[in-house]
A and B are shown apart, each in its own frame.
Chain A
Amino acid sequence: MARDLAPDVERLLQFRDPNIRKKAALCSIRIVKKVPDLAENFINPAASLLKEKHHGVLLTGIQLCTDLCRVSAEALEYFRKKCTEGLVKVLKDVVNSPYAPEYDISGIADPFLHIRLLRLLRVLGQGDADASDCMNDILAQVATKTESNKNAGNAILYECVETIMSIEDNSGLRVLAINILGRFLSNRDNNIRYVALNMLMKAITVDTQAVQRHRPTILECVKDSDASIRKRALELVYLLVNESNVKPLTKELIEYLEVSDQEFKGDLTAKICSIVEKLSPEKIWYIDQMLKVLSEAGNYVKDEVWHALIVVITNASNLHGYTVRSLYRAVQTSGEQVTESDAVDVIEVAIKHHTTDLTTRAMRIKDIIVQDKGNLVLELQQRSIEFNSVIEKHQNIRSALVEKMPVLDEATYSGRRAGSLPAAVSTSQGAALNLSNGVAKAAAAPLVDLLDLSSDDTPAPSSSGNDFLQDLLGVDLSPASSQAGQAQKSGTDVLLDLLSIGSPSAQDSSFTPNALSKSSQDDKTSIGALERLFSPSAPSIQASSPAGGSPMVDLLDGFASGPPLPETNGPAYPSVVAFESSSLRVMFNFSKQPGNPQTTLIEATFMNKSSVIYTDFIFQAAVPKFLQLHLDPASSNSLPESGNGSITQKLRVTNSQHGKKALVMRIRINYKVNSKDTLEEGQIGNFPRDL
């Protein structure tokens, strides 16, 4: 239909009656939008419309031209060449026209026409230097002469600024434009400020310098009472930040953070954190700022930010002392409200820095721990009991446990950002020590010791209870690398493997709650309970970290008390096929230690029945209440195919109901076939009766 009517409409564009012409022009716009091919026909009549006297027709004529230019490049060229001067002249007339009651709006004759003309000039001038040159004068005139105390004037100025920004580079005009925007910013009217901020955001890409000049005003806007202005201003500030002004800017933002209201805080914290992260000139400053942010708005800071912070801290070893001191101050000042994460920071960093005397610290730590034994929080108790036992019993082993926490490699760390395990482990341990901080005053003193660092160098290789925490942390954070195959001291070797086995995987919940509930008793039995915990059947991550801690205890217990594993066998028992599936066979060989009828040593052998090699082979086992189980590290974690090799793993089971009940065990095996995870589970009930 458009095609049919087009010639008619064209004719009408030149009709006598201005109203008709007006409507015809509008109609043409519609047609051109629908059928861009017809645009050429309309170019000429449209050009003539531009010479109209009647404002209405002029308006629509301009509109038609703008749309024609948008639709067809040819039209654009034509108008550029022919009509730019004409347009400029029209604009000049309108600007300079005397008071006309007809079109007057608050002192300006027909602002709408102004705006339309400016818009068309913008379209014509974009990308074309010549056209832009023509317009410069008139733009300058409009920009300077228009009164801005009325909204109409402001509207025109706004359009003018937008036009200046879009046409070819002209620094003088640009400066003028940005000054106008600056004026807008200090205007009390919210609308105008909003509009100005929007415009400035676009302008930043073009000319950053000029915008920097208005930085203080923009900063003011961040604190404005109007929410949308605040948001815009914050985004603008974020865009404006660069190395030179990052310090004062962040200082201001952090000050504001203290007084801002809830919804805004989230945004603000996120922005501050990203600024600080990207542009911090020195690490020390970075850590400073982050601590301030954390103390103000810890809740809003996302996890990734925490991790990044921790990574940075660990990598900047020379700053550790400083960090720890400030962290401690922060912990102190925020008192009860210290979040787990804060404590995690404290602990992690503190761990690396113990240069104080081992024994004094051990004593003090003992104090905390003794106090915490009575604590009702289960987690805390477990922790304190573990620590206690380690300190008391395992003096001789401790040195074997020493291992400096590997400085977190930033790259791998950021790769593991999504990993919840490190955070979880740290969190649960942090919670323990944090609560201990809050629980007893005396706790403050030891922590002070820990934090009291005169020299911030590498930690002395002396061991302490905290060392193994560090080990746990260090090890847990890289279980992938720690899986079998590390040629280290046997203690740590076992530790690593145990912990990697202890990674969270939901297992029979029936085994664990029993174990957990038992641990709220005194030393000896709780150690036993902890040992029971050690089947890696932790259904939750929280539980898995005690499981992470206790295997060590178990192991140490085993080392300290009993003879090491490769010992004489007792009476011989037949070996059984514990578990067999289409792709795997597990055989158990039994032996007993002579002096210990309750404890059975099992050597498990795994064989691959398929023709594909298995990788990341992990064996886990769970036992009921009356049994205790230890797992030693496996000989390797890749099982060659078709029985070409096998993996062996030693287990130790202690039967408290020896003679009355036989052994039962539930097993779970994880492995990867061609990088696809496979899981096998089973129950073993065919243990020889008198084990």
Chain B
Amino acid sequence: NELAILEFIHLLVETMDRHFGNVCELDIMFHLEKAHFMLEEMVMNGCIVETSKSNILAPIQLMDKAS
């Protein structure tokens, strides 16, 4: 479903926005691994597994707190 993929890209960007606050390319560049983590949380094995922003960001926030 092509339109769903479009939605998903939207969701991804919004999640990153929520995490980084007004995300731009610089954020992604400097925190590439975080961006990847987020993506990993959302998509696995080709399927969308998580769509709730809070659920996605929770582990990442934990990680940030721990470091």
Instruction: List residues of A whose CB falls within 8 A of some B CB.
Output: 22-23, 26, 29-30, 55-56, 59-60, 63, 102-103, 105, 110-113, 115-116, 119, 151-152, 154-155, 158-159, 162, 191-192, 195
Contacts and interface: CB of A to CB of B under 8 A. Distances in A.
Interface string B5-37: 011101100000000000000000000000000
B21 to A, nearest CB: 18
A59 B42 CA distance: 11
B7 A155 contact: yes
Given A102-B53, A102-B54, A105-B11, A60 B47 contact: yes
Contact of A56 (B2, B4, B7, B49): B49
Contacts of B3: 151, 154-155, 158, 191-192, 195
Interface residues on B, range: 20 to 34
Contacts of A60: 47, 49
Nearest to A159: B1
Interface string B34-48: 000000000011011
Contacts of A30: 45
B55 interface: yes
Given A30-B45, A63-B47, A112 B52 contact: no
A112 B2 contact: no
- For the complex, would chain B's binding face be called helix, strand, loop or mixed by DSSP majority? helix
B7 A152 contact: yes
Given A111-B4, A191-B3, A191-B6, A59 B45 contact: no
B61 interface: no
Given A26-B45, A158-B1, A195-B2, A59 B7 contact: no
Contacts of A102: 52-55
A105 B10 contact: yes
Of all A-B residue pairs in the complex, the 8 with the closest CB atoms, nearest first, are A155-B3, A155-B4, A102-B52, A56-B50, A112-B51, A63-B47, A26-B45, A115-B4
A103 B56 CA distance: 11
Given A26-B45, A151-B10, 15 more contacts: A22-B49, A26-B47, A56-B49, A56-B50, A56-B52, A59-B48, A60-B49, A63-B47, A102-B55, A111-B7, A155-B7, A158-B2, A158-B3, A159-B1, A191-B2
Nearest to A67: B47
Contacts of A116: 48
Given A112-B51, A158-B1, A151 B6 contact: yes
Contact of A55 (B6, B11, B51): B51
B26 to A, nearest CB: 26
Nearest to B44: A26
A99 to B, nearest CB: 14
A156 to B, nearest CB: 8
Contacts of B49: 22, 26, 56, 59-60
Given A102-B53, A105-B11, A155 B1 contact: yes
B2 A110 contact: no
Nearest to A100: B52
Q: Which of A23, A112, A113 has the most CB of B within 10 A?
A: A112
B32 to A, nearest CB: 23
A119 B50 CA distance: 17
Contacts of A158: 1-4
A158 B44 CA distance: 24
Nearest to B6: A151
Contact of A110 (B10, B51, B54): B51
A103 B4 contact: no
A339 B54 CA distance: 69
Contacts of B4: 111-112, 115, 155, 158-159
A56 B51 CA distance: 7
B12 to A, nearest CB: 12
Nearest to B51: A112
B44 to A, nearest CB: 5
Nearest to A152: B7
Contacts of A26: 44-45, 47, 49
27 contacts: A23-B44, A26-B47, A56-B50, A56-B51, A56-B52, A59-B49, A59-B51, A60-B49, A63-B47, A102-B53, A102-B55, A103-B51, A110-B52, A111-B4, A112-B48, A112-B51, A115-B4, A151-B3, A151-B6, A152-B7, A155-B1, A155-B4, A158-B3, A158-B4, A162-B1, A191-B2, A195-B2
Contacts of B48: 59, 112, 116
Contacts of A103: 51-52
Nearest to A62: B47
Contacts of B51: 55-56, 59, 103, 105, 110, 112-113
Q: Which of B2, B7, B11 has the most CB of A within 10 A?
A: B7
A588 B53 CA distance: 100
Nearest to B54: A102
Contacts of B44: 23, 26
Q: Which of A23, A111, A162 has the most CB of B within 10 A?
A: A111
Contacts of B8: 112
Nearest to A115: B4
Nearest to B50: A56
A113 B47 CA distance: 12
